[in-house]
Structure formats: structure tokens, C-alpha cells
């Protein structure tokens, strides 16, 4: 990780640690306004830094429609884990649905020798 990336990660860590609890969330837009690593509206660099803080630094950062926050209570953790579980199930449903649709699709989908999806 380069020096600029380390600085951005440390700055995001400082910012996020000030946002404890669901009611004190901060959006990726607000974080990026302080660290300026993204010029794309979905803020992929900012989101990647947050993932790194969760995985590598083991900071319990959750997210909601309002942004990111450090988990303060077991209830917040439980609600966030339930939210993730629901999203995982939704993605799995979509995965199986598209594979089923591709298999049943009446038009040709070029097959591959390296894959066995159809």
C-alpha cells in the first residue's frame, strides 16, 4: 500500500471512529469530501478503504441507508447481520434465476469448453 493510500486509510479510520451507533452514520460521500480519493459517484475507493478497516483492522463498521457507523450495541450488530444475510440470500436467488433463465433461453448462448453452466 502506497503512502497516499495509508494516509487515506488512517484518515477514514479517524473519521469513522467518530461515528458510533446507527443514529450517527456518515455517508461515503461525506467521507470522500474529507479524503478526496474518488471522483466517481459510487465512491469505490472509499468503500474499499472501509472494507479494509473491517477486515484488516477488525473495526466493527456497519452500514445503513444513512451511511457507515461503528457498531455500539449487540442489537445494532444483530440487525446488520440480518441485513447482510438477506442481501446474501437475494444475490443467491438472482444467481440461480439467471442460470435457470440462461438454460431455458430459447435463443443461442455460445457455450464454452472451460465452463459447464448450460
Range of the domain at 13: 1-72
On whether both 18 and 46 belong to a single domain, the answer is yes
Q: What is the pLDDT of residue 118?
A: 84
Judge if pTM exceeds 0.75: yes
User: Could you tell me if 25 and 64 are in contact, meaning their C-beta atoms sit under 8 angstroms apart?
Assistant: yes
Rounded distance between C-alpha atoms, residue 34 and residue 49, angstroms: 13
- In terms of Cβ atoms closer than 10 Å to its own Cβ (0-12, 13-18, 19+), residue 57 is exposed
pLDDT higher at 70 or 113 = 70
Residue range 78-85: mean pLDDT, rounded: 97
On whether both 34 and 80 belong to a single domain, the answer is no
On whether both 32 and 44 belong to a single domain, the answer is yes
| Count of domains forming the chain | 2
User: Could you tell me if 61 and 71 are in contact, meaning their C-beta atoms sit under 8 angstroms apart?
Assistant: yes
Name the average pLDDT for the chain.
93
On whether both 81 and 61 belong to a single domain, the answer is no
Q: What is the pLDDT of residue 71?
A: 98
Q: What is the pLDDT of residue 1?
A: 65
Q: What is the pLDDT of residue 106?
A: 84
Amino acid at each position: 500500500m502506497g503512502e497516499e493510500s495509508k494516509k487515506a486509510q488512517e484518515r477514514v479510520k479517524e473519521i469513522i471512529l467518530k461515528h458510533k451507533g446507527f443514529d450517527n452514520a456518515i455517508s461515503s460521500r461525506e467521507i470522500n469530501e474529507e479524503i478526496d480519493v474518488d471522483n466517481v459517484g459510487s465512491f469505490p475507493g472509499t468503500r474499499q478503504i472501509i472494507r479494509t478497516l473491517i477486515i484488516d483492522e477488525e473495526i466493527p463498521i456497519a452500514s445503513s441507508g444513512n451511511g457507515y457507523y461503528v457498531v455500539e450495541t449487540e442489537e445494532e450488530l444483530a440487525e446488520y447481520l440480518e441485513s447482510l444475510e438477506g442481501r446474501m440470500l437475494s444475490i443467491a436467488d438472482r444467481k440461480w434465476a439467471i442460470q435457470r433463465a440462461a438454460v431455458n433461453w430459447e435463443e443461442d448462448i455460445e457455450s464454452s469448453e472451460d465452463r459447464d453452466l448450460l
